[in-house]
Amino acid sequence: MNASNPSRRDFIKTAAIGAGAATFAVHPAHGAPQPIRVGLIGTGRRGAGAAKDCLDSSEGVTLTAVGDIFPDQLEAGLAKLKTLGDRYQVPEDQCFSGWDAYKQVLASDIDLVILAAPPGFRPLHLAAAVEAGKHVFMEKPAAVDPAGVRSIIASGEKAKGKGLAIVAGTQRRHQLPYVETLKRIHDGAIGDIVAASCYWVGDYDYYPAVLKQPGWSEMEAQIRNWNYFTWLSGDHIVEQHVHNIDIMNWALRAHPVKALGLGGRQQRTGAEYGHIYDHFAVELEYPGGVRVQSLCRQMKDTQGRVGEFIVGTKGTSDPRQGINGPTPFKTTEGPNPYVQEHTDLIASIRNGAPLNEAKDVAESTMAAIIGRMACYTGQEITWDWAMNESKEDWTPKAYEFGPIATPPVAMPGVTPLV
């Protein structure tokens, strides 16, 4: 992976403390830290990575239950997780596979669950986790459609009532350079924000296509190749670019009110790439008429750019680098943000002040979704319509192995707005 086309993990080699994290004491004043037993749902690359990050984040954290829909994926994940030494405490009878694996993990004696199955399952899994009374770390995005976003917000409110923590995999909110810069922006360091841009323009070798094998049903093939189906990933504007859109929401302390965009599919035209696009260009309009340019692309042998740029009445900012303005500021590095987000989560649980990021990640996900909807249909999409009236719901008719259709590639002006 070259520097101009960074992967999710390659792009950020450094750091952070989350907003407010410095107020949390990771260890109690006396004695050993409160034990935290962790369950993992989804043992793929991100799931295994998130579990390691969680166990690295604090003393007294152990993995005690694991589940994945596919037995072979479960075994591959376990092989990685067993290298974590005595922090891995998963007996054989706490390793689950199949459609109900998530239910079995949640029924285990755990305090915290990591939700790392494909995003299409996130609303279902979060609702079940909150119902089971578990604290949650959930990977981004929060959902793939408006119906799922509404479910996430409802689960987040229910979690608040039950005193449960929810932290999302939008790790920039726990990354020191972003935390330091955004605080200064909110304190007026660049004046009023008048425009901004955000980018995830790069390659796609981080997401190799998984070719259908003999014996796999179409449902199994799609889940194993989940990045390339909207019902599972939300398309890459939602699955990947949500990170950068999240910074826009954070900087502006708002969500967009409408979206207009265009996109398509030029390089990735084979059946192995499902039906998603490989490029999007969206204008997101925020309150007060502030326009944000949102660009994302997954194409080989093209120039890469991953980041954000904000323009104010008194200066500008690349949030990861700092501020150019009356009082210039250059960021410093800090802890690994993929670990720090778990440190902040566990500290909040131990201190009885559970973090709840459900609404923030749900709104950033919805911002990406209305961008996708605008590009798929060729229409201007308003936030209020999408949130309150849209019937778009990519949930399959049944969660079972068997046939499932591949939707046609969306065609602006033809694909209906639902």
The tens digit of pLDDT for each residue in 288-318 reads 999 999 999 999 999 999 999 999 999 999 9
Q: Is the pLDDT of residue 18 over 80?
A: no
pLDDT tier for residue 147 given thresholds of 50, 70 and 90: very high
Q: Is the pLDDT of residue 25 over 70?
A: no
pLDDT of 21 over the 70 cut = no
Please tell me the predicted confidence (pLDDT) of residue 315: 98
Q: What confidence tier does 16 reach under pLDDT thresholds 50, 70, 90?
A: very low
The pLDDT score that the predictor gives to residue 138 is 98
To 5 degrees, how large is the angle CA 387–CA 412–CA 146?
15
Candidates 82, 26, 10, 2; CA nearest to 340 is 26
- Of all residues in the chain, what percent carry a pLDDT higher than 70? 93
pLDDT above 80 (res 364): yes
DSSP code at position 405: P
The reported pLDDT for the residue numbered 205 is 87
Percent of the chain having pLDDT more than 90? Answer: 91
Whether residue 22 has pLDDT greater than 50: no
Mean pLDDT, the chain, rounded, equals 93
328 phi/psi in degrees, rounded to 5:
-60, 150
The whole-number pLDDT of residue 12 equals: 33
265 vs 308: CA distance, rounded Å = 24
> Cβ–Cβ contacts within 10 Å for residue 207, how many?
20
Residue at 136: amino acid letter:
V
Report the side by side order of strands in the sheet with 193-202: 329-330, 322-324, 316-318, 305-312, 193-202, 290-298, 279-286, 258-264, 381-382
Provide the pLDDT for residue 222.
Answer: 98
Gap between the Cα atoms of 254 and 231, Å rounded: 26
Domains and CATH numbers, the chain: 8-172+340-357 (3.40.50.720), 186-332+364-388 (3.30.360.10)
* pTM confidence score: 0.92
What is the per-residue pLDDT for 361? 98
Q: Please, which residues have CB within 8 angstroms of residue 131's CB and are 6 or more apart in sequence? A: 158
Each residue's pLDDT tens digit, 189-227: 999 999 999 999 999 888 899 999 999 999 999 999 999
The span from the CA of 59 to the CA of 323, in Å, is 36
The per-residue pLDDT for 30 is: 54
Over residues 330-341, the mean pLDDT reads 97
Query: Any idea which residue has 């407010």 for tokens?
Result: 20
Q: Check residue 69 and give its pLDDT.
A: 98
Structure confidence at residue 216 (pLDDT): 98
| Whether residue 4 has pLDDT greater than 50 | no
- Is residue 61 within 8 A of residue 38, CB to CB? The reply is yes
Tokens coding 320: 């990861």
Question: Would the pLDDT of 72 be above 50?
Answer: yes
- Name the least confident of 15-24, 79-88, 178-187, 248-257: 15-24
364/381 Cα distance (integer angstroms): 15
In angstroms, the CA 405 to CA 219 distance is 9
Question: CA 119, CA 136: separation in Å to the nearest integer?
Answer: 15
Chain mean position to CA 170 = 6
Q: Is residue 359 within 8 Å of residue 156, measured between CB atoms?
A: yes
Predicted local distance difference test score (pLDDT) of residue 109:
98
